[in-house]
Amino acid sequence: MLNRGDFDYICRLVQERSAIVLEAGKEYLVELRLKPLLRDCGVADMGAFVERLRSDRSGTLQRQVVEAMTTNETSFFRDIHPFETLRRQILPELLRLRAGERALNVWCGAASSGQEIYSLAMLLREHFPELLGWRVRLLATDISREMILRCREGRYSQLEVNRGLPAAMLVKYFERVDMDWRLKETIRQMVEFREMNLAASWPGLPTMDLILLRNVLIYFDEATKRAILGRVHGALRGDGYLLLGGSETTLNLDARFDQVRLDRTLCYRVRGGDGGGRI
């Protein structure tokens, strides 16, 4: 069992390293997420594990704990409505607006295991063949080094591809590798993955036409949400789009965004169209 002192220590560690807040009552989640690390360390209980964690001078175990606690569940084409809105309205508009430049920049700020950005890559390849002649940059970032490495591999279990991925896309864009499925190179090479902490500085991030920051703000305190949205405002082109999770909003956090409903999806745009500066 995880006692209060050890739980508080892990909460402080995670918040200091990632700005993510673990609330009281999440002890069960902490134990569940850290159980594989206990096995790797060869310790029998949480008390012994936290004792080793406190004495971790190299920082390796601390980093592994933060990564374990900041990895969030995802799936292909999660909450399908935003992807339908992207296909029907947002992407056609962005292609029209960028026809002169023939360039499109998209950023997924919480890559997790990669399904969201790869879903978008398949959607672009499937429905917008004209982009083959464009400079398309799909960037996905995550705080977890382990997740970034996994994303680059593009390999998923049968259970993962069964969740949300149309069978036709599985056949068309994946190949079987042992008991798993791996995205074909034509899709993998469309995406650039980079390790990045949303709560820290964002070096080298270009201005974006579309930013996906879905189901991640909910893990931060209000001050961190405001700081992240402030940097998003600087990274989003004035006529670009920001997509958040269904339970997330910019309201009462940053007044420089307008909320726009397209079909069944809430999107956010820079108020006045003057938010296209760099961070």
Residue 277 structure tokens: 């500066």
Report how far residue 154's alpha carbon sits from residue 97's, in angstroms, rounded to the nearest whole number.
Answer: 31
Report how far residue 245's alpha carbon sits from residue 86's, in angstroms, rounded to the nearest whole number.
Answer: 14
Kindly name the residue from 33, 88, 163, 226 that is annotated as catalytic: 33
Report how far residue 236's alpha carbon sits from residue 73's, in angstroms, rounded to the nearest whole number.
Answer: 26
Give the sign of the dihedral formed by CA 137, CA 142, CA 145, CA 151: negative
- Are the C-beta atoms of 207 and 201 separated by less than 8 Å? no
Closest CA to 63 of 14, 102, 12, 97: 14
Q: Does the annotation mark 188 as catalytic?
A: no
Kindly name the residue from 78, 125, 142, 254 that is annotated as catalytic: 142
Q: Does the annotation mark 142 as catalytic?
A: yes
Residues designated as active site = 33, 142
